[in-house]
Chains A and B, each alone.
Chain A
Amino acid sequence: MAEAASNLSSASPFSSLLRIGGAAEAGIVVAERTGCGLASLTLIGDDLAKLSQVVEEAIGLALPSGPKRVARDGFCLLGSGPKSWFVLARDRSLMDRLATAIGTYGALVDQSDAYGVLSVSGAKARALFEKGLSVDLHPDVFGCADVAVTLCAQVGIILWQAEEAEFRLALYRSFAASFWHWLQESAAEYGLRVEGMTGRG
């Protein structure tokens, strides 16, 4: 007899890697963010204005142009490439609402399981990223409205800031262990604290 599917265990990409704990004064603070929706959005055809309009009508955010970020009411849009974006939604039902609105103007594809999302903060967060990124994260250059789609220690990531000096990054889940190795080694001189999982955004 089949076991109830509702009992199926689920595992986030970093759940077997992160161990909560670390010094209070650690220079790097990391938390995995789980539980919400992540999708890729790609324009179908060439009517960008129309797609932006239907998205804005649905969630109150127009599509950003270039590597930029906008956020509001549980939604966050990240420019990820020409005519493509990443959508983060506080919960899945919000994502369904957006999917309905987009219709055939774009392709909204669920990627909630494809990526792990980490929050990286602390006084030494920028120093940490210097060891993996070739992107200038100086506050005058990379602010909360900016997004970088780049490599960090050979792993493809999407990087943004939820607020000043609180970085978020998304990477393919299969790379979680390799990325975590880089992060642990690179954070060693600053001290590393891991906090509990929190919602995405």
Chain B
Amino acid sequence: MNERPQPNRLAGGGIIDRAKPLAFQFDGVPFSGYDGDTLASALMASGVKLIGRSFKYHRPRGIFSAGPEEPNALVELRSDARQEPNTKATTTELFDGLVANSQNRWPSLAFDLLSLNQLGGSLLSAGFYYKTFMWPASFWEKVYEPLIRRAAGLGAASGLDDPDRYEKATAFCDVLVIGSGPAGLSAALAAGRAGARVILCEDDFRLGGRLLAETMTVDEAPALAFVEKAEAELASLPQVRLFRRTHVFGVYDGNTYGALEKVADHYPVPPDHLPRQRLWRIVAKQAVNAMGAIERPIAFANNDRPGVMLASAVRTYVNRFAATPGSRAVIFTASDDGWRTASDLTQAGVTVAAIIDPRAGNTAPASAPASAEAFSGGRIIKAYGGMSGVRGVDVLYRGKRHHIVCDLVAVSGGWNPQIGLTTHVGGRPSWNDDKAAFVPGTLPPGMIVAGAASGAFSLHACLAAGAAAGTKAAALSGKSSAAAPLPRAEDEPSRAAAFFHVAEAKGKAFVDLQNDVTVSDVALAHREGYSALEHLKRYTTLGMATDQGKTGNLIGQALMAELAGKSIAELGTTTARPPHSPLAIGALAGLHRGKHFKATRYLAAHERALAHDAVMTEAGQWLRPSFFPRAGEADWLAAASREARTVRNAVGICDVSTLGKIDIRGPDAALLLDRVYTNLFSTLAVGKARYGLMLRDDGFVMDDGTTARFGEHHYVMSTTTVNASKVMQHLEFCHQALWPQLKVAMASVSEQWAQFAIAGPKSRDVLAAVLGASIDVSDAALPYMGVAAFSFGPMTARLFRLSFSGERAYELAVPARYGAGVHDRLVKAAADFGGCLYGLEALNIMRIEKGHVAGNELSGRTTAYDLGLHRMLSTKKDFIGRTLAARPLLCEPGRQRLVGLKPRKAQDRLRSGAHILKPGAPLDAAHDEGYITSGAFSPALDSWIALALIAHGPERFGEIVRVYDPVRDGDTLAEIVPHIFVDPKGERVHG
């Protein structure tokens, strides 16, 4: 491989492997980096300063931070379907073959036409959209919004299906440790040594946090040695799990945490056996929040120029990645911490030209290098430079301006503890004047905050707090231990002043870099009355970008507090909600997408039906044969019509296994059925079945089906496919809550039995051929509505003489393991008698011809009276729904009631959903008289027919109505007829 030059890479040091060079591309240009780099550190080492253009003004932007708080260095990672916009270069682990592109620029990063927005900058101030794109309203969707989106879009999605796999998983532990900096590592060690089940989550691909980025020592050795020792010890503890590349993004009720593990983001393409990302639900008895703190910047003019960076990030690049962000630096720090940047830079050979500390009279916490001029009580008012980076700064010191030439400005305005997670279940942070930061207030149950995340910033303090928190968390989860001696570390000075912006700055001073919110935007919001924080946020979009204002929010809040004459504590803060950092939707879906969105249920004879060319359709979660097309048939209608004719003329076989089946046993089984059905079942003879109707409490129809009696105390109920579990729940509710004293037990046996309908005049012949001498199927032995259990070879089978088609028909139930075998035998026997398989379409045609109600009619809005089933409401007993079904309005003749419809022209299609009106009536809702519930082409009548619910329906037989279906351009006339079209006297079931 041809290594590319890395001009800003130090010859030694850093936690990178110079023996493993990696090739990558940025904006089509080849570059090199090393194993251990991030995309940002590799670009920096390669001397790339300009990474992207800003959101609104298209200003040139570089690398600002070294972590997930990055507002500037956002790139489009990968290409084609794997293209991922707004990816932070600072957290993107470098891999060989990485391809990234800058975003928000056109036509190129260096020459961006839209950067002209900068010139019209005053037009684009806060509230610009609200004020400018108001009129005319119709312009918004078609003109303004697309225009704004093109100009302001931050990256682009590929628009293609995500080709990768995602997983979801759940883990349990005693102690969850969030973050592996000094506090997190010592918490995990303490809890792990106590024997607790520990999960340690670290965003980065390496454990260590700030320990990787600072030149401090632990136990007189470099901090990295401590990290490696701790890592080895944790790995040796069997109850400790280390989750690297895992971001804890949310806290939820029940001590549950959400975390995203980037399993394979560091490969160009995930290996086949790995998901790209895995979403974890972690249930932790206790959690130690050691997420650390984020350094905040200071707002001055042009503080967004490439080369203006957080001081801590400068140290990270120099110390961890051996990459120098510049050659001549100015440090602007309001914190003790920022001073340490000077010695680290000097050691790396970078000249430190000046250290500016706005704290007047501050005694320097560290000595400044000889080259550096120290401006105690000074401030930077403006940076100079452009695309190629910062070129110098103006310092205001004792009333005079000093210009200092530099190509790097390291800024430290102090540290903000990462309070986000502590507020996810309703906690509020509190302002701490001493630390000049918000610190965690009320905490989620079971959470301890340790180290910098709680405002304890020194290394010694972090190690001590972590150990104490780990020990305490383990003890609270039942694992106690003696405290181990603490490693020795510096208690370095870590004071910071509440210094957020330079008042004397003129020009654009940025508060929120990602959303281009400036100091003057905040002032404008205040002038226009949007001084409440939630208003400020929405008016200026402060903190609303993908970085959620991790670096900028507090500055905006402090500015507003100043303007409003309040303290920061009085003004408060906005509410943080999960996720702490953005998540891919794919991770939230896991494996459950596309056809795996829900589990699919397959029939025992599914493969057999496919062998007969079944076209499957979804029925709830089930797949069922819809029809069985044959050569020469034009469409589904031709196939279904042929199947229905075959049933009426010969015989057909239909898989009805999906119907719900509930086994009901016990001395009070009959009593329970009498109470849940509207009609009597205690009077049903053993060996017989009866059609039953169930109402809800409110008197509307819930479900229907047949129930068979196999013994004095043994019934088997059938339900519709979709209501199988609902009816089971209903029965269990009735038993457990209403009548626990009833001696009865229910069991769902829907899956135990494969069940087939054998329907048609030749059905008995088919059964005789298949069942042979196993059972007598003569009418004398098995009359209409008779049932029997019988031995059939190795099994006990059940035979029901029921009919949904109106023809002589049976249902044969066999244990499911025999479903496929019995299916084949029935099909073969049926073929011998001129029969065929039939699917849901034919089944539906025949039930409409017979006027049987199904799902469309049992919609939850119909009563027994509406459906013409009111004679099934027994007057001899009480049953669920009886009282409320008798409400006058539910038995009112003007209700929409079930009738049949026949079009004037047989070929005019009647579709469900079409509206019924009087011919000539206005086409409006006020004149709507009802609608078609089910329509079908009837082969028996050679005409379209329909079931419909029509006002006063059964009183209007013979009347012509208009069938109006504007959605599908249907408009025809039809006659209201009785809802039973075929064999109204019901003679064919005996035929």
A binding-site residues for B, Cβ under 8 Å = 1-13, 16, 40, 42-45, 82, 104, 106-107, 109-115, 130-131, 133-134, 136, 138, 141, 153-155, 172-179, 181-182, 185-186, 188-189
Residue of A106, A174, A179 with most chain B CB atoms under a 10 A cut-off: A174
List residues of chain B with CB within 8 A of the CB of A106. Answer: 745
Question: For the complex, what is the distance from the CA of A40 to the CA of B281, rounded to whole Å?
Answer: 33
19 A/B residue pairs, CB under 8 Å, sorted by A: A2-B773, A4-B793, A8-B795, A10-B794, A11-B821, A106-B745, A110-B752, A111-B747, A113-B815, A114-B752, A131-B167, A138-B197, A155-B599, A174-B751, A177-B602, A178-B596, A185-B591, A186-B591, A189-B273
* List of 10 A-B pairs having minimum Cβ-Cβ separation, nearest first: A5-B793, A2-B772, A174-B601, A42-B745, A107-B745, A114-B751, A178-B599, A136-B172, A113-B816, A9-B821
Q: What is the 8 Å Cβ interface bit string for chain B, positions 577-603, against chain A (1 contact, 0 not)? A: 000000000000001100010111111
Residue of A40, A113, A186 with most chain B CB atoms under a 10 A cut-off: A113
Q: What is the 8 Å Cβ interface bit string for chain B, positions 735-757, against chain A (1 contact, 0 not)? A: 01000000111110111110000
List residues of chain A with CB within 8 A of the CB of B770. Answer: 2
| Given pairs A82-B736, A107-B663, A172-B751, 18 additional interface contacts (CB within 8 A) | A2-B772, A5-B792, A7-B793, A10-B818, A11-B819, A11-B820, A45-B743, A106-B745, A107-B747, A109-B747, A130-B169, A131-B167, A153-B591, A173-B751, A175-B601, A176-B602, A177-B600, A188-B273
Given A104-B713, A136-B172, A173-B604: A9 and B820 interface contact (C-beta under 8 Å): yes
- Residue among A1, A45, A112, A134 making CB contact with B815, cutoff 8 Å: A112
Do B745 and A44 touch across chains, with their CB atoms under 8 A apart?
Answer: yes
Q: Which residue of B lies closest to A189 (CB)?
A: B273
Q: Which residue of B lies closest to A179 (CB)?
A: B599
- Residue among B603, B666, B769, B774 making CB contact with A5, cutoff 8 Å: B774
Whether B622 is near chain A, meaning CB under 8 Å from some CB there, is: yes
Do A114 and B749 touch across chains, with their CB atoms under 8 A apart?
Answer: yes
Question: For the complex, what is the distance from the CA of A130 to the CA of B283, rounded to whole Å?
Answer: 12
Question: For the complex, what is the distance from the CA of A16 to the CA of B611, rounded to whole Å?
Answer: 14
Given A8-B821, A11-B820, A114-B751: A130 and B599 interface contact (C-beta under 8 Å): no
Given A5-B772, A131-B168, A178-B600: A173 and B816 interface contact (C-beta under 8 Å): yes
Question: For the complex, what is the distance from the CA of A161 to the CA of B774, rounded to whole Å?
Answer: 41
**By the criterion of a CB under 8 Å from any partner CB, how many residues of chain B are at the interface?**
63
Q: Which of B164-187 contact A (CB under 8 A)?
A: 165, 167-172
Q: Which residue of A lies closest to B791 (CB)?
A: A5
Do A175 and B599 touch across chains, with their CB atoms under 8 A apart?
Answer: yes
Q: What is the 8 Å Cβ interface bit string for chain B, positions 508-531, against chain A (1 contact, 0 not)? A: 000000000000000000000000
Q: Which residue of A lies closest to B666 (CB)?
A: A44
Question: For the complex, what is the distance from the CA of A74 to the CA of B752, rounded to whole Å?
Answer: 22
- Closest-CB distance, A150 to chain B (whole angstroms): 11
Given A107-B663, A131-B167, A174-B751: A8 and B599 interface contact (C-beta under 8 Å): no
- Residue among A6, A16, A45, A174 making CB contact with B793, cutoff 8 Å: A6
Do B825 and A3 touch across chains, with their CB atoms under 8 A apart?
Answer: yes
Question: For the complex, what is the distance from the CA of A111 to the CA of B171, rounded to whole Å?
Answer: 32
Question: For the complex, what is the distance from the CA of A115 to the CA of B748, rounded to whole Å?
Answer: 12
Q: What is the 8 Å Cβ interface bit string for chain B, positions 786-826, against chain A (1 contact, 0 not)? A: 00000011110000000000000000000111111110110
Given A130-B171, A154-B599: A12 and B817 interface contact (C-beta under 8 Å): yes
Given A8-B822, A134-B281, A136-B283: A174 and B792 interface contact (C-beta under 8 Å): no
- Closest-CB distance, B185 to chain A (whole angstroms): 24
Given A5-B774, A5-B792, A133-B170: A185 and B747 interface contact (C-beta under 8 Å): no
Question: For the complex, what is the distance from the CA of A106 to the CA of B773, rounded to whole Å?
Answer: 34
Do A44 and B743 touch across chains, with their CB atoms under 8 A apart?
Answer: yes
Whether B274 is near chain A, meaning CB under 8 Å from some CB there, is: yes
- Closest-CB distance, A134 to chain B (whole angstroms): 5
Given A5-B792, A104-B713: A44 and B665 interface contact (C-beta under 8 Å): yes
Given A114-B816, A173-B816: A42 and B746 interface contact (C-beta under 8 Å): yes
Do B169 and A131 touch across chains, with their CB atoms under 8 A apart?
Answer: yes
Q: Which residue of A lies closest to B741 (CB)?
A: A46
Whether B955 is near chain A, meaning CB under 8 Å from some CB there, is: no
Question: For the complex, what is the distance from the CA of A7 to the CA of B769, rounded to whole Å?
Answer: 15
Whether B667 is near chain A, meaning CB under 8 Å from some CB there, is: yes
List residues of chain B with CB within 8 A of the CB of A6. Answer: 793-794
Question: For the complex, what is the distance from the CA of A10 to the CA of B255, rounded to whole Å?
Answer: 48
Given A6-B794, A10-B818, A11-B820: A188 and B272 interface contact (C-beta under 8 Å): yes
Whether B771 is near chain A, meaning CB under 8 Å from some CB there, is: yes
Q: Which residue of A lies closest to B824 (CB)?
A: A9
List residues of chain B with CB within 8 A of the CB of A13. Answer: 816
List residues of chain A with CB within 8 A of the CB of B745. Answer: 42-44, 106-107
Whether B607 is near chain A, meaning CB under 8 Å from some CB there, is: yes
Q: Which residue of A lies closest to B750 (CB)?
A: A114
Question: For the complex, what is the distance from the CA of A182 to the CA of B167, rounded to whole Å?
Answer: 10
Question: For the complex, what is the distance from the CA of A188 to the CA of B263, rounded to whole Å?
Answer: 14
- Closest-CB distance, B601 to chain A (whole angstroms): 4
Given A138-B197, A174-B602: A181 and B596 interface contact (C-beta under 8 Å): yes
